[in-house]
């Protein structure tokens, strides 16, 4: 791993943390407030690729677990990781990795639609696949209840996937970091 890789990994951990400054957004159609932070997960994967993107989020989660209040709403600490939403936070590590792995595969013919697919699969499907069972287990809910409770966030997450895809495409043009 080069010095530059290390800086990039640290940078996207810091960017994800910085997105905590955005307060949860309430938009009319969606009943639950949208947290902006997980856009950092998609961006890390889509811009850095699997390995570096995954490590960036690993670094971020380690700092959160140590007690740094880096999650939206200034939450942090091992308690959050063990709590009902901990699965979502932990899922960010494989999520960024999956987004990155898919983007790497599609790199030479990347366009908005297949990039959106990467972000939806990695940034939404992976996150829910891990987060929802965790939520159900910790909060003592039926899987269906947990799913229903989380489904309200899906529209917001799709909006974020669109934004992340558009942004990552522009960045790819001026700052390609994956192709070699």
Q: Return all residues near 64 (Cβ < 8 A) that are at least 6 apart.
A: 70, 71, 76, 77, 80, 81, 89
> HSE (CB half, 13 Å, CA atoms) of 170?
5
| C-beta of 60 vs 128, nearer to other proteins | 60
Distance between CA atoms of residues 164 and 106, nearest Å: 16
What's the sign of the alpha-carbon dihedral 167, 169, 172, 177?
positive
Least Cβ distance, residue 162 to other proteins (angstroms)? 9
Least Cβ distance, residue 170 to other proteins (angstroms)? 5
Least Cβ distance, residue 32 to other proteins (angstroms)? 11
Distance between CA atoms of residues 100 and 80, nearest Å: 26
Least Cβ distance, residue 64 to other proteins (angstroms)? 10
Distance of CA 115 to the CA centre of its chain: 14
| C-beta of 113 vs 175, nearer to other proteins | 175
Q: Return all residues near 176 (Cβ < 8 A) that are at least 6 apart.
A: none
| C-beta of 21 vs 137, nearer to other proteins | 21
| C-beta of 82 vs 143, nearer to other proteins | 82
DSSP state of 23: P
| C-beta of 67 vs 129, nearer to other proteins | 67
Chain residues that interact with other proteins, rule: CB under 8 A: 1-4, 6-11, 13-15, 17-19, 21-23, 25, 27, 43, 47, 59-60, 62-63, 65-70, 73-80, 82-83, 163, 166-167, 170-171, 174-175, 177
Least Cβ distance, residue 29 to other proteins (angstroms)? 13
């Amino acid at each position: 791993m080069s010095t530059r890789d290390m800086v990039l990994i640290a940078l996207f951990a810091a960017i994800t943390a910085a997105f905590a400054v955005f307060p949860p957004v309430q938009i009319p159609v969606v009943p639950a407030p949208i947290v902006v932070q997980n856009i950092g997960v998609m961006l890390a994967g889509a811009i850095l690729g699997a390995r570096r993107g995954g490590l960036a989020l690993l670094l971020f989660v380690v700092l959160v677990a140590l007690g740094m209040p880096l999650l939206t709403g200034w939450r942090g600490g091992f308690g959050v990781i063990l709590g009902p939403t901990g699965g979502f936070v932990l899922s960010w590590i494989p999520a960024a990795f999956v987004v990155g792995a898919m983007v790497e595969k599609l790199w030479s013919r990347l366009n908005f639609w297949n990039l959106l697919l990467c972000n939806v699969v990695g940034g939404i499907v992976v996150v829910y696949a891990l987060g929802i069972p965790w939520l159900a287990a910790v909060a003592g809910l039926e899987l269906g209840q947990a799913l229903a409770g989380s489904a309200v966030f899906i529209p917001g997450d799709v909006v974020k996937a669109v934004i992340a895809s558009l942004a990552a495409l522009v960045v790819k043009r001026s700052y390609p970091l994956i192709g070699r």
